[in-house]
Amino acid sequence: MDPVTLSDDRLILRPMRPSDAGHVLAGWQDETVRRWTEVPAEPTLRQARAFVEVVCAQGWQDATNLIFAAELKRTGEFVGSLGVFGLSWAGLSEQLAWVGYWTAAGQRGRGHTSAALRMMSAWAFGALGVDRLEAVVEVGNDASLACAERAGYVLEGTHRARTVQNGSRRDAWVAALLPQDLDRPSSVPYPCAAPGPPHPAGQWPARTGPGAG
């Protein structure tokens, strides 16, 4: 699949590029991100470059893990990263995928990530043939859940041992978005909190993490 760029009056969502490696490394080193998201134990710039230049590019090429960088349209400032994951034959056979996202420390609490997540989700429904998107959030990560809910995702319940963090299974909240949910205004007031770095399965797994969006 060819990478795409999305935009609205506030944000641009674009494919990762080599110059984003430093931003990715900063995210991996952020303690809030590290608490809720699986990232390399001792991240290096070399790993970040490999993620941006190889993992992200391969995800688009294979049409399995589609990762965007988010930036402010007016200034070009890096906001964070988000993606749609699990677009394998198994997921597509059920028209199902999941989302992951994180926000750069200096951009939290401004509503950027929830706006980016909503824009990306609307695109996914129209372009990818999915009709259900899920955000899987470790229990206790209120910031990440609030961001998903502000984007229109509906909390459906708690799944036991649904996610893995630091080698152990953790209970998770599962929130989902259906196409018709995009017509419903969010009930979560601004500002919401946001999440953490998406990484494709088999590399550094994608789940929602921290931040403030």
Residue 130: per-residue pLDDT: 93
Q: To which H or E segment does residue 80 belong? A: strand 78-85
Residue 88: per-residue pLDDT: 79
Residue 94: per-residue pLDDT: 85
At residue 187, what are phi and psi to the nearest 5 degrees? -100, 0
Residue 176: per-residue pLDDT: 98
Peptide bond connecting 185 to the previous residue in cis, omega within 30 degrees of 0: no
Residue 79: per-residue pLDDT: 97
**Matching residue, tokens 């997540």:** 117
pTM: 0.86
Report the phi/psi class of residue 210: left, alpha or beta, with left for phi > 0 and alpha for psi in -120 to 50. Answer: beta
Pairing of strands 66-72, 96-103: unpaired
Other beta carbons within 10 angstroms of residue 133's beta carbon come to 28
Residue 166: per-residue pLDDT: 82
**CA–CA gap between residue 99 and residue 2 (Å, rounded):** 19
pLDDT along the chain (213 residues), means of 10: 96 98 97 89 96 97 96 97 87 86 93 97 94 95 95 97 90 97 69 40 41 42
